[in-house]
Amino acid sequence: MADIDSGVSCADYDNLAGVVDEIIYGYWDDVSSWPSLPEGTENSPLTLANAGKWSGDVVMKNGCRAYKLKFTDGTGVLTMTDQGERGGESVLYQLDLVRSKTSDVVLGFMNATRGRDLFFIVTDKNGVSYLMGDRLNAAKRVAGDAVTTGTASTDRNGVPLRFTYECARSLVYEGDKTAVLA
């Protein structure tokens, strides 16, 4: 354990809500290696900072890559909710976003991801990234709000998307976000 102090610089108080309007995603079975959960040893205990982040990178199999999904700014939110009873606690990650204007491409994405194992790298507007998916558990697209054409001319025509992932811990991802796209 360690003391958790208040912010000491102006940047420590910067805090912008929301998710950057572009996420990284891919098929879970296209990944060759995953980062590992943080762990310490008897001679080298974990710091609180290391206990809150994945160790390593997402690495794709040869011939596979991850992709970017651009969505409507101001519509993305990632939540991490503790769940389970004592001795069986885990964390439910949930990503909700909206892609404005229904199109064949976004409907094709919905069809291609239905029932498939996925992973996501989501970055918040403070520059902190989160990984949804690990070597044992995949993220999934789950039922969310309905695709809608809207009614009035001021309504949004759009496709709401929801993804969930269950993990043993709440963690940030500081690994690669460039080579995974190549």
**What is the rounded average pLDDT of the residues 48-65?**
96
- Tell me what the mean pLDDT of segment 54-64 comes to: 98
Q: Of 48, 53, 49, nearest to 38 (Cα)?
A: 53
C-beta separation of 180 from 59 below 8 A = yes
Radius of gyration of the chain (CA): 18
pLDDT reading at 152 higher than 80? yes
Contact in structure between 16 and 123 (CB atoms under 8 Å) = no
Residue keyed to tokens 């929801």: 162
- Output the average pLDDT for the chain: 94
pLDDT band at 8 (very low <50, low <70, confident <90, very high): low
Helices (H), 36-86: 48-51
In single-letter form, the type of residue at position 28 comes to W
- The pLDDT of residue 44 is 85
Q: Residue 134, Cβ neighbours under 10 Å: how many?
A: 22
Structure confidence by residue, pLDDT tens digits, 112-147:
999 999 999 999 999 999 999 999 999 999 999 999
Q: Where are the alpha helices (DSSP H) in the chain?
A: 48-51, 104-113
Model confidence at 14, pLDDT cuts 50, 70, 90, reads confident
